[in-house]
Structure 1
């Protein structure tokens, strides 16, 4: 008798969540009311903010880079820019620094205010953007007509769900994900790929690559020139990689425990069958790195010595400072999100994409809209853009486990994350760690990634590279405008704060890939003949060519 009211509540909750774009209206109201009440009870602070907000400084490109450039210096566009800057400055003055306001609430209010400011930017208007007007005049209005056609095309795609037509030029196994290999394991969650050797001899220890299941694995095996997997194979490493299944509603009950058991531990068993008595270089990217860190801690606890090293690429292990993603994580937000997922069994790729776009709306949302629909331009799709459009879903239980235990409770860093019913500690990890952060990462801020130095009392080589969460990883040798800095902390050495790391490390021009490959080689044994593909006698025969079948599912 109690289930019907609960189901009604969950349905209504999910409806409200959908209408709010996944944002909890309760969380928004709490944040606004907290800020408004404290501001209203401090009239002196409000008066000072009003006076300070009336003083507008020179336009700051950091706040709205789309309003920079000579075209915006001419009237009336300079007036539009100044009015927008004045409103933005006044809002920032009123919102920030109100005593008594909960920090999370202040950040959420500032985030929501920024969404409105970005929406109302004169760069978004056909008659307030000088670039739009200039191009429309130069083309006799053709640019606006082209933009209308682009809008119709994209509206149809949003309604029916087909991928962008240009994405057909970047198909896994045809134009991307081309490194030769064989699938040697398939279960209900993963396919494990073993890549074919490219050198007469290989390093003794194999490499297991664990990507995030938020997106498909082949971001690390894009085109041949920017494939990290191909690069490692070419340098004599035996590489295995997990390709995650794109889950559907039937997979709603798959949780973090299943991702650990069916993903990482099952893969380690297969690698051990192919290469008995060889320790493994474990490489985890993003959420795959967080899961790999959990696995490494559990293995250390259980005296499982199969790991040689642990590499964490843009992967967080402490979630107290997760950047603006933390704005979406509180009890109210999770309650709405869980009810949305409970209705469909998963979190859809488009829902995730909307959250990431909200973190940088000017760059990721409004600038593309202006370019496509007002300027009538299409940016030619590249391999990274095509991969980004090849979205995946996340099962209800896994996503809920992940957000609650890691983001909300910070259970891994605080030592109460359970694996097989027992807590794990990252301090138990005693293998060398290579940790990489990317300077402009909005998903895993590098200072948050750096906290692995606080949690692991082992040798840690930390690398900071240019670029964002994805582009910083795709940093092949010869890539322009790339540099990195690295500093090794020996076991039991004193902790260095992030600013000390910046002061003591030396910036090196070029890709971080050779540095990483050399680090792997330094922690490897003598080279020897490559192993066979799979191990039929031990139950892991080759069952198909890379990139497999799971990566093709939509």
Structure 2
């Protein structure tokens, strides 16, 4: 009798487990499925209408063609020798047989571990059903061994040059992320259960959000990563008090209100990237580098780039230097009377600053007394995965597309950056938003990440060709305003910050760039990545940074001699810059004696793409 009760209990538990994969109300499920398909139709209509009206155009098949060509090179190695091809197939077949044998054992034995376990850090397979349910367990393990097998094929192909191998690894990773069973309704146990439990209401919400996001992207998917309704620039983000004191067709120059009675004589000019908006340095009061620098006694000026359109199509790096950096220097001199400033450039803003310094050195303009580079590349030998998108064919195709409209659409550049970390910045949001039907939570950093900008055609083309493709800037071949640029002519003190886990400006690349300047370089390596490693206020007491000898030789050799320091690099930078000149004057009010053009953060930053 007891055995009978135990058996019935096990049967009831099994029934309960099975029941979770069936719709509670089939009629309601069918209605919701029909409504979800209707919303999907709206998304498709928005995509089609944008292309019919010319509001959105597909750039070209160049990236896809490059991926096919790259995979062909890998296949050529394995298929050109029958023995190699058989060995590769046998290895994969053996992996599948291992999974099958493991599944057979688990039917009769307890506590049998997976043949191909997922990493504990892999958030895709955290649901217990990935290990408990035989069907989902097999899917997971088959996916993992196939993804690893494909990566091994790339690493084992001896006929590849390093550039092609780099591309092949990147493309394999993108395909592996995209084809994960966690991304599909019928192969993700958690999604399947939620769909059945809600009778498909999650799909209705998800397809509605998909339609809204394609409409917001004007025919392209503008993937929402944060609840944008919870943020408003100038109200609860980018709130450090200041004024717009100058403006031209390309920039607004902001000066921030002092919070100290005395200020350092040398003003600080920040040159942010134009690929993103400047308020990454002013997200909120607790994480604002701008506010912190003001509190330390710096008179802070910031360039706010316009979100360009067809009117700015022909503006190149020479224009961005003249109407951006030089215009800001003129503005600072008019506002403070100072002819010597400390300049700081972030990411591509730093690359532009480096080019501007070389041009100004050739012309005898010595107004910038020191330069700080934050995650900035000046040499692109080891520029990371973004180089995958840059070769002669892809640049020509991109140039042709940009000529039609005068700019690169913001969504396309944002997608390229998100692809560098697709497992964190694309697929979790696709699953959460469009399959689970859950709107993302408000997060200021991801709101900023989605507030992307268009890129002016001539400016972006110069950047890709002279930096990523031909590496002209560091090699003394880049030309601006008829002058050849030489970074060794930049003999002012340099503070060069890299971040250890940077996927956009790899630490190895930033370190290598240190050797091209003609003056003393202070190299510092911060913990974390491209954003978190830079935006790291001392009060948070997070991460660490390394400081050490001159940046010579290899990065690993430098690290062996470097000293690890707890917390933020910000105080170290402040110590360095005040060590150059700590003379103080009375704190300066912005727009003193003149009418300000606007309150910070200004008008240009509010224009959404």
* Contact residue 54 and residue 86 of structure 1 kept, 8 A: no
What displacement does 1:532 show? 4.4
What displacement does 1:318 show? 0.6
* Contact residue 67 and residue 123 of structure 1 kept, 8 A: yes
Q: Which has the larger radius of gyration?
A: 2
2:150 maps to 1:91: yes
Aligned to 1:269: 330
2:564 maps to 1:507: yes
Aligned to 1:7: none
Matches within 5 A, 1:515-554: 515-534=572-591, 542-554=596-608
* Contact residue 227 and residue 440 of structure 2 kept, 8 A: no
* Contact residue 357 and residue 364 of structure 1 kept, 8 A: yes
- From 66, 79, 96, the equivalent of 1:40 is 79
Aligned to 1:352: 413
* Contact residue 74 and residue 153 of structure 2 kept, 8 A: no
Secondary structure, counterpart of 1:495 in structure 2: coil
What displacement does 1:428 show? 1.6
CA distance in 1, matches of 2:170, 2:121: 13
Aligned to 1:240: 301
Structural RMSD (CA): 2.7
User: In structure 2, do the counterparts of structure 1 residues 315 and 199 end up closer, same or farther at CA, with 3 Å as the change threshold?
Assistant: same
* Contact residue 205 and residue 438 of structure 2 kept, 8 A: no
Aligned to 1:132: 191
Matches within 5 A, 1:418-437: 418-437=479-498
TM-score in terms of structure 1 length:
0.89
* Contact residue 23 and residue 333 of structure 1 kept, 8 A: yes
Aligned to 2:454: 393
What displacement does 1:407 show? 0.9
> CA offsets, 1:206-261, max 9 Å, x none?
10001001111111111111110000001100000000001111211111111111
* Contact residue 375 and residue 505 of structure 2 kept, 8 A: yes
* Contact residue 192 and residue 243 of structure 1 kept, 8 A: yes
CA distance in 2, matches of 1:70, 1:505: 44
Provide structure 2 residue ranges, at least 5 long, that are not aligned to the other structure: 1-50, 96-114
CA distance in 1, matches of 2:61, 2:411: 11
What displacement does 1:21 show? 7.0
CA distance in 2, matches of 1:436, 1:217: 18
Matches within 5 A, 1:108-257: 108-133=167-192, 135=194, 140-141=197-198, 144-161=200-217, 166-257=227-318
- From 154, 162, 186, the equivalent of 1:103 is 162
CA distance in 2, matches of 1:291, 1:541: 30
Provide structure 1 residue ranges, at least 5 long, that are not aligned to the other structure: 1-11
CA distance in 2, matches of 1:32, 1:206: 52
- Equivalent pairs counted in the alignment come to 530
What displacement does 1:160 show? 4.1
User: In structure 2, do the counterparts of structure 1 residues 315 and 147 end up closer, same or farther at CA, with 3 Å as the change threshold?
Assistant: farther
Aligned to 1:3: none
Deviates more, 1:76-85 or 1:342-351: 76-85
CA distance in 2, matches of 1:528, 1:406: 40
Aligned to 2:397: 336
Secondary structure, counterpart of 1:24 in structure 2: helix
CA distance in 2, matches of 1:102, 1:18: 33
* Contact residue 59 and residue 398 of structure 2 kept, 8 A: no
User: In structure 2, do the counterparts of structure 1 residues 434 and 458 end up closer, same or farther at CA, with 3 Å as the change threshold?
Assistant: same
What displacement does 1:158 show? 1.8
Aligned to 1:4: none
What displacement does 1:372 show? 2.2
> CA offsets, 1:444-463, max 9 Å, x none?
11211111222124322222
User: In structure 2, do the counterparts of structure 1 residues 117 and 344 end up closer, same or farther at CA, with 3 Å as the change threshold?
Assistant: same
